[in-house]
Amino acid sequence: MVKASSSVFCYISKIWPRYIAILLTGVLDDCLCDIESIDDFSTFKIFPKIQKLQERDYFRYYKVNLKRPCPFWADDGHCSIKDCHVEPCPESKIPVGIKAGSTNKYSKAANNSKELEDCEQANKLGAVNSTLSNQSKEAFIDWARYDDSQDHFCELDDERSPDAQYVDLLLNPERYTGYKGPSAWRVWNSIYEENCFKPRSVYRPLNPLAPSRGGDDGESFYTWLEGLCLEKRVFYKLISGLHASINLHLCANYLLEETWGKPRWGPNVKEFTRRFDPIETKGEGPRRLKNLYFLYLIELRALSKVAPYFERSIVDLYTGNGHEDAESKALLLDIFRDTKSFHMHFDEKSMFAGDKKGAKSLKEEFRLHFKNISRIMDCVGCDKCRLWGKLQTQGLGTALKILFSEKEIQSLPEHSPSKGFQLTRQEIVALVNAFGRLSTSIRELQNFKVLLQQTR
């Protein structure tokens, strides 16, 4: 790698918008897709529709346990900043079909009315249509007893726990809360250092614990990374892309000022520059943003692959409001059609393609590493950061589960549930919202380019 002189970097800083545009072009590593195609596809086809879908009742209410203790180190205590707080949703606000599908408890209003029958049916069938034959219901109940934990890439919250609460995602948006410092750094450091297949002797770029290596600027790290097998490179890029996406959300929804108790949130160009400018990050920022695009491709591919699961008449996005449920499913299927039309998908078949025994072992190692990362999210001290960290991690975990369940998805029965592949409502909500967050990241990145051009 040829190192640029300080004078070149000085020049680059003056033309940062043009420079980042140059860096974020062309074909991504480890796939055959170019960034310009993703920008156009996401901005004009996906973003408007996925944003609309996220506003639907089925996808806006997410049940999560924010009180699970950190399993890896002593709790640092929860963030006391007011913007870290998550406001749970009162039970009375949750659509009856959603409550019935996730828990054995019913609202009092439903106890002696037709709603009780609807709740009982939804309780048995979750997101599946309630007009099934008795034989199909028995098959579904039989599946419900089937332990599919072997397929999970995430540590799922127990929705029956008294600590699990519904959260309205629209009323608790992801944004910069002020949570930072050693606690936040320890979470990400643990993710990278202990779960990304990296030996201790190799240091990530910008790691403050790394010994001084002169003008290395991360070159030894990327030399090591390129020497890994495809699967382990992909793993690192997914985590880096997720980290970049979250950072982009925080920059785009930043507390700019607060006057008389009224906060004003918006894009913070200075914060964006600090996190992604090639000068301030020694070239690391643009690499992270490329990994964001790579992550987008992975989740886009998962949506295109899981479409047959939702296209079956047996599957319904059940909230109890028949009209809205039908509209929600129609919009979801429309998005699936768009994802299928994308012509430069990542080819997941290139992964775990070696000898069967070695591939199976590597896949299990891959799954367990990611599952461990999902557990680390319970160590985040800011409740709002924990909420969105858990949701986006679970969304990615669900995408990975889909990508490596192709045979099971292809053999799904049309009119009855299947033991081979199932998604819980929690996984469905996480999958859609996580992809929605990535689509928003790409949109916000375009916005920052415009803002940077205006401020230079």
Pair 238, 298: CB distance under 8 Å: yes
Pair 396, 295: CB distance under 8 Å: yes
The string of DSSP letters for 400-429 reads HHHHT-HHHHHT--SSS--SS----HHHHH
- Interhelix angle for 425-455 vs 284-311, to 10°? 140
The enclosing H or E element of 248 equals helix 230-252
Identity of the amino acid at 214: G
- Distance in angstroms (rounded) separating the CA atoms of residues 156 and 62: 13
Pair 351, 365: CB distance under 8 Å: no
Structure tokens at 169: 């995602």
Structure tokens at 244: 């970049």
**382 counts as catalytic:** yes
Q: From the CB of residue 284, how many other CB atoms can be counted at a distance below 10 Å?
A: 21
What residues contact residue 202 under an 8 Å CB cut-off, 6+ apart? 220, 221, 224
Residue with tokens 């880096």: 240
From the CA atom positions of the chain, what is the Rg in Å? 23
**31 counts as catalytic:** no
Pair 33, 27: CB distance under 8 Å: yes
What residues contact residue 270 under an 8 Å CB cut-off, 6+ apart? none
Structure tokens at 16: 């940062």
Confirm whether residue 213 is marked as ligand binding: no
**Angle (CA) 193 197 200, round 5°:** 45
Report the binding-site residues: 175, 177, 188, 240, 243, 275
Report the binding-site residues for FAD: 175, 177, 188, 240, 243, 275
The catalytic residue positions are 382, 385
